[in-house]
Amino acid sequence: MIDTLRLTAEEAAALLERRELSAAELHAAYLDAIRARDGELHAYLRTVDEPDADGVPVALKDLICTRGVETTAGSRILAGYVPPYDATVATRCRAARLSFLGKTNMDEFAMGSSTENSGFGPTRNPWDPDRVPGGSSGGSAAAVAAGLAPWALGSDTGGSIKQPAALCGVVGLRPTYGTVSRYGIVAFASSLDQIGPIAKTVRDCALLYRIIAGRDPCDTTTVDLPESVELPETEHLRGLRVGVPRELNEAEGIEPGVTEAVNRAVELARELGADVSECELPRSVEYGLSCYYLIAPAEASSNLARYDGVRYGLRSETNGDTRAMYERTRHDGFGDEPKRRIMLGAYALSAGYYEAFYGQAQKVRTLIRREHDALFERFDVLLSPTSPTVAFRLGERTENPLAMYLSDVLTIPSNLAGLPGLSIPCGLSEGLPVGLQLIGRQFAENALFRVGHALERALAFGYVPSRLRDGGAV
C-alpha cells in the first residue's frame, strides 16, 4: 500500500532508487488515488496512463503544452487542441525521467483566484470541498494537498502559485522572472507569467525548481542562474536579516486568524536566530493592485487576439461570414472573466489612452521595483501573509470581481517587481490553512528555500488535510 497523502516527492525518489517499488507501480498508485478522490475535487481535467513510467510522477497545469495530450488552458475556446510539441518545462521534466500524471484544472487562461472560472467546472479544496482551492493554479495545489500528485507545476502571474498553495496548505514557489522558460506556455500576461513548482515540502519545491530552471534558447527572456539550486538543510536562521513590511501585514481585509498565525511564524523566525525588523512598502501596496489590473489585461488582450476560430481550438459555425464567425467563436469560447479582461486591456491600449493608462502603469511598476530594491539593501527576506484570508466558500466572490481581485493584493507587488516568492503553510485559522509569504531579491531562491525549510521544520505543520487524514492509503 502506497500512502500518497503523506509521500513526498523526495521520499518517492528514494523508494525508486532503493527499488522498493517500480515507477509504474508508483504512477499507478497515484492514478488509483485520483480515481478514488478526484470525483469530489475535480483537480484534474484529464489523466495520462504511462505504463513505461521511469521516475517520480508530476502533474502539469493545463496551460503547459504537452505533445499528444489535449491542452486547453481551462478554456472551451481551446477544447480539442492537442499540441504537436512539448513546452520546455515539460521537456525538462521528461529529461529528468518524471512521468506525467495529467493536466490540472485552472481558471480560464489563468485569470482568477479561485479556479471557479474554469470552462470545465470548479475545483474544490481538499480541506473543505465547500471552499475554493485558490487560483489560478487551484487544480495543481489541490492535487498535491489531496495526495493526487507528489508535486505539480503551476503558473503565477499575480499570485496564481502562491495563493492556491496557501489556501491548500502546501508549498509554492513563484520564481524570479526569467529563470524558467515560458516557451510552450499558453500566454496570459507575458511580462508577468512564470512557471513554478507546488509541492508538499520546501525541499521538494527546490528539487522541482532545479529541474525546470535555466536559460532556454526558445525564450529570449530567460537567463542562466547565477548559482546552482541548493537543497536546504540548515534549521536555524542565524545571520539572516528578515523584514516585516507593515503595509503587507496590516492591509485592510486581513483576517485576525491569518494575522495571528503569521505573527507566530515571525516570532519563530526570531527564535531561530534571524534579525527581524519592521519596514515599509507604502507605494507598492497602495498602487500595486491598480497597476497590475492595467498591465495584465492589456497584455492579455494582445495575447488572446489569436483565438479566432481559424487556426486551432473551437470554431463556431455561421453562414459563411468570416467576421461573424470570429465574433460567434469568441462569444461562445471565452468565459466572463477573459471577456472582462480583454475589454479592460483593449481600452487601456487604445489610441488616446495608451500613455494615460498602460504607459503610466509601467512607470508605477518601476517605482514598485525600486521600492523593493531599497528594502533588499537592508534585508535578505521579507515576510507577510500570502493571502488576506483562508479559503473562502465557492460562489462567495463570483459576483464581485473586485473582491476576487483583492485575493492577490499581497502577492501582486513583488510579482510586478519580478521577484521570487515562496508560500509555506504556517498554521490553521477556522480549521483551514494559512500561508506565509517569503519574498526575496532577484535570484534569491536559495535564501527563500533556507528560510522556508527552517520555518517549515520548526512549525511542523503537517501537510495532510484533516478530513482525509484517516483514509490516506491507496
Domains contained in the chain, CATH given? 9-283+365-471 (3.90.1300.10)
pLDDT at 472: 45
Reported as type and span, the H/E element at residue 242 is strand 241-245
What average pLDDT does range 380-403 have in this prediction? 96
Tell me what the mean pLDDT of segment 271-292 comes to: 97
**Is 2 in a helix, a strand, or coil?**
coil
103-107 average pLDDT score: 98
The residues carrying an active-site annotation are 61, 136, 160
Q: What is the pLDDT of residue 311?
A: 83
| Average confidence score pLDDT of the chain | 96
Residue 424 has φ and ψ, to the nearest 5°, of -125, 150
184 contact partners, CB below 8 Å, separation of at least 6: 64, 65, 83, 85, 86, 87, 88, 89, 90, 218
Closest Cα to residue 205, out of 455, 414, 449? 449
Residue reference for cell 508535486: 151
Nine-digit cell at 307?
Answer: 483565438
Segment 159-166 mean pLDDT: 98
pLDDT bucket at 474, cuts 50 / 70 / 90: very low
Cα 448 to Cα 469: distance, rounded to the nearest angstrom: 29
| pLDDT above 60 for 248 | yes
DSSP string, 250-261: S-TT--HHHHHH
Q: Percentage of residues in the chain with pLDDT exceeding 90?
A: 92
Q: What is the mean pLDDT of residues 392-421?
A: 96
What cell was used for 303? 495575447
**Closest to 162 measured CA to CA, from 458, 465, 434, 348:** 434
Look up the pTM and report it: 0.97
Query: What number is the average pLDDT over the span 30-44?
Result: 97
Determine the Cα–Cα distance for residues 352 and 216; give it in Å rounded to an integer. 37
The conformation of residue 306, written as its DSSP 8-state character, comes to: G
For residue 473, is pLDDT > 60? no
- For the stretch 224-240, pLDDT in tens is 999 999 999 999 999 99
Mean pLDDT, range 1-27, rounded to an integer: 96
Show the DSSP H helices in 59-186 as ranges: 88-95, 138-145, 162-168
pLDDT-based confidence at residue 471 (cuts at 50, 70, 90): low
What is the mean predicted confidence (pLDDT) over 57-69?
A: 98
192, 177 Cβ separation under 8 angstroms = yes
Q: Tell me, what DSSP letter sits at residue 58?
A: E
- Single-letter code of the amino acid located at 374: A
Q: Which residue has the cell 501573509?
A: 385
pLDDT, position 470 = 64
314-339 pLDDT, tens digit per residue, is 999 888 788 899 999 999 999 999 99
